Amino acid sequence: MAAVIARQLLRRGPSVWVLFATGAFVTVAVGVLSPTQASAAVASNLSILVFLFSLFLFAAGLEQAGALDHLGRWILGRAGTVRNLPAVVFVAFGVLSAFVLNDALVLVGVPLLFSLARRLRVAAEPLLLTLAFSVTVGSVLTPFGNPQNLLVSLESGMTAPVATFLRYLLVPTVLNLGLGAWYLRRVYGRRLETQAGTGAANSTPSVPLLPPRSLFALVRRSPVLAVFPVTMVALITVDVTSAVTRGPPVPLYAVALGGAVAMLLASPARATLFARVDWSILVLFAALFVVVAGATAGGVVGSLQHIVPIPGPGQPVRATGAILLTSLGGSQLVSNVPWVGLQIPLLHQLGYGPGAAYAWVALAAGSTLAGNLTLLGAASNLIVVQQAERAGLRIGLREFARVGLPLTLMTVGTLFVLLLVGV
């Protein structure tokens, strides 16, 4: 963890997944965990790795089919004027990020926005920052919007994670998307309009949502176009139905895997899909499970109870506030996924179980929204920065924080108030 903190502060050094893989190896090498215990730590969380793998396959399929690129161009064509671009980008990519992993979405969004900025002859930085802020706010909504939400939804013991997330987070997310769109239009709209020329129209060609070509031919060439939406509908339907009928919980990872396997069997380019999977994040998660198990066995997680002042389940108002505040701070030190990995066993030790859904939702949403406070708070931010630097644009910590701090205060404040209503 110390190496991760140092990397975050210095903004240099090996990738986070390399640091955690090294940490997992050291955990076993020094005897904190035996090889059998380390293997058990990974095996007990295999459902998370399977779910992530399935989502990455879908993201790879959508990217390969050009669906994400087409959706992005359709979104940008809705803006009408340059001044509206920040609001349209924020809402549209925010909504998309609830269903497509935010890390995968920014990989497509960055080149799209660079291309648009060149056509409009405006600075790309405001559009890229808007993209980073939007996928953070929008991905809060569902368990599969980002990796830390998935980690919380499966490790907390929630019986119906999709229904639980929607119950607590639908209204806050809708309000936050509206607030964020208004705020970023005020911050960046006039600046972009001035650069492009007052009254300038958005030069992105308006494309139809559904291409004029035969939809059947497109689906036959790229089965993901049909399999992905069907799988998402199935995930939401079986989970919500289970919550309403109080029936047995449905293993969502199995539904996701079934859809991914069906896509692979129908796809003519299976090898390419596997090549596009972000294997480094899967390695990060597997190593994280080993490191957290070692931290628990070594008493590190127990000592956090004295450092992180989170009250027990009997004080929901104070607990919600404490979880949100500590998530905001902790995510800046080690990024949000590792922070959530450490907090889950801590909350279990404090007595939080599946019935205390408000606490788990606060951890997921708080650690996610923390990504808008600084560049260091989320992996998706770092992906945007890396993609921008490859194109010759350096995004600074100061500019990100200048715009991100007020946005974070607004969104976390809205979340806190509405979570209290839900409690």
Residue 183, φ and ψ in degrees, nearest 5: -65, -45
Looking at residue 136, its pLDDT comes to 95
Looking at residue 323, its pLDDT comes to 92
* Residues in CB range of 310: below 8 A, 6 or more apart: 319, 322, 323, 326, 346, 347, 350
Looking at residue 169, its pLDDT comes to 95
- Alpha-carbon distances, residue 100 vs 14, 119, 158, 269, 367 (angstroms): 27, 27, 21, 21, 18
Mean pLDDT, 10 residues at a time, the chain of 423 residues: 53 68 87 87 83 84 80 76 90 91 81 84 92 95 89 87 93 96 94 76 65 71 86 87 76 87 85 80 81 74 65 87 89 78 86 90 95 83 78 81 94 94 67
- How many alpha carbons fall within 13 Å on the CB side of residue 349? 17
Cα angle 409, 109, 78 (rounded to 5 degrees) comes to: 85
Model-level pTM? 0.82
3-state SS, residue 15? coil
Looking at residue 393, its pLDDT comes to 83
Q: What is the DSSP letter of 211?
A: -
Looking at residue 372, its pLDDT comes to 94
Looking at residue 235, its pLDDT comes to 86
Looking at residue 306, its pLDDT comes to 64
